[in-house]
Structure 1
Amino acid sequence: MKKLLSLFFALALVLTSCSNDESSSTEDSSSEDNSVLPKTISYTYPDIILGTNSISTNTYNGNKIISSVKNDSKTVFTYDGDIIVKQEQFDINELGNEIKSAEVEYRYENGKLKTRIFKEDIRPAYPDGEYIEKIVYIHSSSLISYINYNVNKNTKEEVKNSEGTLTYKDGNLIKEVQISGSSTRTRTYEYDTKHNPLKNILGFDLLLNEITAFGKNNVIKTTSVLSDFPTQANYVTTYVYNDSDYPTKRTSLSGGGSVEYEVEYTY
């Protein structure tokens, strides 16, 4: 699945809250401070091969995220009431001009995400994007199933690309299964008991695994198994927390234990 929210967590995948656990992603305690929001999110990579260092600055209206800006790009969010219905990504050139390059549209049914349409490489020749992807979600009491379609840029014909399931518990994604052809990838996630830095952004809890590393808590271990190569891979994530139990630093380690990237948050 392509993700537009790379400004938050560009690698691999994680989470959110939803289905019958959607309501659990909001705090039950009236004393919980829901005003804590990340103002900046900085990525640092030890090797340029692994990624490019960046810092995103976020703007809010209350708990609604309005935009997130990096040096060369900007993402703008559109709400309908309290739900996010669109993201638009703009490239920023050397003159400071913003040029739309991608967007994601969300449609809901009974308060839950029903379809997600991703459009990439938007330009005059392809105003709807050269690459289009559509995901349809089916909610049940125990898990969420999805079907991923590639959409022809000219005819708009939809061709099934992959399918999968998402399993949630206590506001966190604990298992993700993706089937593509004869290959199946299964990821399971373990969490700490601290606050996720994005948990208070309104509408994020409905976007399912659109946003990597989103949940009620923080992923501390990811286990990945690919059916073609059944050797299990384990990835560990460590955190430094502030006095309010929100992460100020996140370090992601490879299966071999080396640092893949670090994320720092200011609130």
Structure 2
Amino acid sequence: MQKKLVCCLSVIFLVFNSCSNEEYYHSENAILPKTLKTIYPTSPSENYDTNFIYDGNKIVSITNKNGKRDYKYDGSHIVKERVYSFYKGEETKSYETLYTYENDKLKTVAKFVNGTVIRYIYNYNNDGSITKETYDLEIDTWEETKRTGKDVITIIDGNIMKSEYNWEDGYDVISVVNYEYDTNKNAFKNIKGLNLLLDQYSFDYEINMSSNNNMSRYYVKNIQGPSSNIIFEPHAFRMEYKYNKKGYPIKKTTYDYYTERIIEIVEYMY
């Protein structure tokens, strides 16, 4: 009798523990940013709110005073994004982006802007890096021209750590961008499919929306060859965060790395 009671209690514990884990998983997935308040301390008239609408944990639209973005999914993948701008109360379509995938990884991106098409192809290398090729498509003839510039992206633990862009012929410049992150949860990590968009996704100053963690610093280094005569200004930012009890950011302050001037403040509402 005692053995039966122990077995029964063990089964109840396992069922309870399983349910608790499932509830926790779903509650974590339900944590999604509903509103972002962007604040400019030196230009308060430019402050604005950004509102997010979801279907479950799929993004449906993002809207603020600057414009609107609509999304379409195929299963768990974002396959289309339409961007609209607002001007004098009227909504105008700015561009449309189509995404395709291979083996659950981003493969191609086609961006339609003002009658032109820019296409990106992502190739996944054995060393873990990703090479991005860029093509210009002529709509009238459907002929493509490959740009000579090359972009190589390095991702570690779901975060873009480095982006190296070798400029096109005639410039003799390589731009290297290094990114640093904290260990806390990105506010957007539960939006389905967003993590697959790599470097293709940014929204205003939210440049790390597809990363697992929160960007704490990024800086740009331009390596110039003997034929380059471009003058570059130092370019680096650092970010400080405040978090809620679940480890999601509720406030981000972005500073110019060199002057310590506050660029902007973003407050997150879930």
Q: Are 1:44 and 2:46 matched, yes or no?
A: no
Structure of greater Rg = 2
Q: Is the 8 A contact 1:225 1:231 kept in 2?
A: no
Q: Are 1:99 and 2:80 matched, yes or no?
A: no
Bigger relative CO (Cα 8 Å, ≥ 6 apart): 1
Name structure 1 gaps, 5 residues minimum: 1-28, 121-128
**Structure 2-normalised TM-score?**
0.77
Shift of the 255–152 alpha-carbon distance from structure 1 to 2, 3 Å rule, reads farther
Name the count of aligned residue pairs: 228
Greater helix share, 1 or 2?
2
CA distance in 1, matches of 2:257, 2:141: 42
CA distance in 1, matches of 2:141, 2:116: 12
Other-structure match for 1:192:
182
Q: Are 1:253 and 2:255 matched, yes or no?
A: yes
Deviations 1:212-256 (A, max 9, x none): 212111111213211137997542111111111111111111132
Shift of the 255–69 alpha-carbon distance from structure 1 to 2, 3 Å rule, reads same
Other-structure match for 1:224:
220
Q: 1:55 aligns with which of 49, 57, 70?
A: 49
Other-structure match for 1:110:
103
**Structure 1-normalised TM-score?**
0.77
Shift of the 222–92 alpha-carbon distance from structure 1 to 2, 3 Å rule, reads closer
CA distance in 1, matches of 2:250, 2:234: 30
Deviations 1:40-88 (A, max 9, x none): 122223456xx95332111001100011111352211000011000001
**Could you tell me how far 1:101 is from its partner in structure 2?**
2.1
In the TM superposition, what are the counterparts of 1:1-80 in structure 2 within 5 Å? 31-32=24-25, 33-47=28-42, 52-80=46-74
Question: CA RMSD for the aligned pairs?
Answer: 2.4
Shift of the 201–231 alpha-carbon distance from structure 1 to 2, 3 Å rule, reads same
CA distance in 2, matches of 1:209, 1:223: 16
Percent of residue pairs bearing the same amino acid type: 31
Q: State the one-letter code of the partner of 1:37.
A: L
